[in-house]
Structure 1
């Protein structure tokens, strides 16, 4: 159980410190103005604004103290000018006292709103951990890093997905993007990841994993209402690093091509044969092909969703990860993803308009010392 003022304390810690001084500034400014102006002028607006500002920025105790200070300052100045005995003075003081009481109520309402918001955030984090668990930092010689950025403020999960699994066939991973938003997209994410986790251990090829994903998503789409029944689909890339570690295998189903980075050089891994996204195979036959390329030590695979490649600056120029990463030799997957996120934020001016997943897998240069694949689970 949280302490009674834990929510407000958390909010205060995120508020600019100068802004927290606003109630004091209003009280001091109002008192000085009231004292140095003729009796017909009143600083009542300052006295009422101070406790309301405290209600939004400070704790319950500070809000009560601001209300008492506002009433005391108004009473002192009314007495000084001999106005306390008149109806105008009494009504002014009553107004300040009433607003101060309302400020206390507002403070409590904001506190309980904060508690509910924090609870919702904890639930969202629990859902994210269950649906999109963070992969281990390494599986044998393969080092791993992942980043998830939601376009919706305070949301923790959306329509982008990723999965990494150590299997008898090597390290296998999935990065995908569900068409659409909201709970229907989250349901599709859950279905796709559940099938991937089972199929990655069972199926001998990436093509067969893709086929199982396709069938499951087609079944799931039939349960959707309206246009979602026929228009829902998932773009994805499946990748496999076999136990030998010297090769990378890829299957791309309509997704942005992954990148291979080594020594400052960047190579875009376009599929040899384009294929329809998952869930659209009823529109035509899919002739899938697994592309295989060398994956020597010191090479990093970067998979991402279109939240990266379609990020735009204020002049509507798309972010080009190949051009932006060429010439940069970053020491680890975590350093790579941190650099990419910082760079795309600079490019967009901090505006994230679509969910974004980044997944990096790097083959360690010390394979012989590290031995074979680890058991993740």
Structure 2
């Protein structure tokens, strides 16, 4: 703790590790009095919807049987009988679909026999139609299941490939505690256009957090280029400025291989940081990226903005600005937080941006993973559970 600062850690621990903006439960009512987050209601509705869909085939059969029992012979529930196995094919297993189809055929046959109408032409036509649809439903279910299995396999391969591009850093490197978090805005994606990397070097721990222009697989390819160039440069170059220039040249080479708009407008915003071994300082070089935050052990925060603006990486042809790494104290117990604009530009229902500086003020976290977990949950709550942009978080704590 620095002289003159107040120790808020005890109060924060007693508060259960909540952010200042989180609802506080009534002491007389217990934790159940805490308000549900905004995304809880949509999740509950989704769960009820899934239960209803799975019960729909049974409900269709029951309604069809009751309709046939309480209406004259000339009224038929044939459409309901045919719908039941088709719905089951989409939501049930192969066995469940077969049992549903058998139940439908058995119900139709039983009702026609009980009414002594099975020998009529219209009744036989209805029975043949329902039996045919029931058999087709079993075949459709088998096709859907095989397609689902192939999709799962493809997703597992894609996850492995994407994790190879953006691996999780070790929890401890060079004496520093490290945690990373990534949330892709694109559904079913594991990484997108944001990136982070940590590299130990003879000159200290070097970090990068960046945001590649664009989305999809093109952005993932650019992420691979940036991370590969960073790891090599961080190991070999003597300064952060030299590392940034290596990244600039790597992106320029990548631009020559691209066609269309990306060949002219491909760029990457990035912030690079260096934590020298044994020195209580951090050096930061910013190329058009949101500024890092420094969280001290007593809960105070410091923003580390660049004194001079610089273009993002990959835009060197527009002008040359000399890179200058800026130095700041990094005492024991402090945590350095690097993030992408998916955090700072997350909006709530009123269109207000998420402000990590304001939301984290006065908070104390003992471990980097606690900070990232709380921060990710809070920004999801702020944005209503959906992310409009990818978000990458990297936290490093000096013990």
Q: Same fold (TM over 0.5)?
A: yes
Aligned: 1:215 with 2:288: no
Name structure 2 gaps, 5 residues minimum. 1-46
Give, in angstroms, the shift of residue 116 of structure 1. 2.1
Cα offsets for 1:192-215 (capped at 9, x unmatched): 111111111111111110010001
Question: Conserved in 2, the CA contact under 8 Å of 1:160 and 1:177?
Answer: yes
1:321 is the counterpart of 2:356: yes
Show the counterpart of 2:331: 296
TM-score where L is the length of structure 1? 0.89
The 3-state SS of whatever aligns with 1:148 is: strand
Q: Which residue of 1 aligns with 2:313?
A: 278
Residue of structure 1 equivalent to 2:195: 161
Match of 2:233 in 1: 199
2:170 counterpart of 1:126 = no
CA deviations 1:214-266 (Å, max 9, x no partner) are 01111111221122222111110111111115111110000011111123222
Is the Cα contact below 8 Å between 2:174 and 2:205 reproduced in 1? no
Unmatched 5+ stretches in structure 1: 1-12, 365-377
User: What is the CA–CA distance in structure 1 between the aligned matches of 2:387 and 2:147, rounded to whole Å?
Assistant: 26
**Superimposed CA distance per residue, residues 97-142 of structure 1 (whole angstroms, 9 cap, x where no aligned partner):** 1111121122122112212211221121111221111110111431
User: Displacement, 1:21?
Assistant: 2.7
CA–CA distance in 2 between the matches of 1:68 and 1:337?
A: 52
Tell me the residue number matched to 1:338: 373
1:176-196 C-alpha deviation (Å, 9 max, x unpaired): 111112333222211111111
Residues 96-245 of structure 1: matches in 2 within 5 Å? 96-245=130-279
Once the two structures are overlaid, the 10-residue window that deviates more, 324-333 or 58-67, is 324-333
1:255 aligns with 2:279: no
- The structure-2 alpha-carbon separation of the partners of 1:121 and 1:218, relative to structure 1 and needing over 3 Å to count, comes to same
Matched, 1:268 2:303: yes
Contact 1:299 1:363 in 2 (8 A): yes
Query: Would you identify which runs of 4 or more consecutive aligned residues in structure 1 move more than 3 Å?
Result: 13-19
Distance 1:231 1:143 in 2: 36
- Does the 8 A contact of 1:273 with 1:288 survive in 2? no
Cα deviation, 1:309-341, whole Å, max 9, x if unaligned, reads: 111122221111111111222222111111111
Q: CA deviation at 1:33?
A: 2.6
Q: 1:314 to 1:187 in 2, by over 3 A?
A: same
State the match for 2:344 in structure 1: 309
Name the SS for the 2:167 alignment partner: coil
Cα 1:206–1:111 change in 2 (3 A) is: same
Q: Does 1:91 align with 2:128?
A: no
Q: Distance in 1 between matches of 2:362 and 2:233?
A: 38
CA distance in 1, matches of 2:171, 2:75: 67
Between 1:143-152 and 1:40-49, the stretch displaced more is 40-49
The 3 A distance-change label for structure 1 pair 352 and 213 is same
How far apart in 2 are the matches of 1:139 and 1:313? 36
Deviation at 1:18, TM superposition (A): 5.1
What is the Cα-based RMSD across aligned positions, in Å? 1.8
Structure 1 contact 245–363 (Cα < 8 Å) conserved: no
Q: Any idea what SS the aligned residue of 1:236 has?
A: strand
User: 1:39 Cα deviation (Å)?
Assistant: 2.2
Q: Aligned equivalents of 2:367 and 2:279: distance in 1?
A: 17
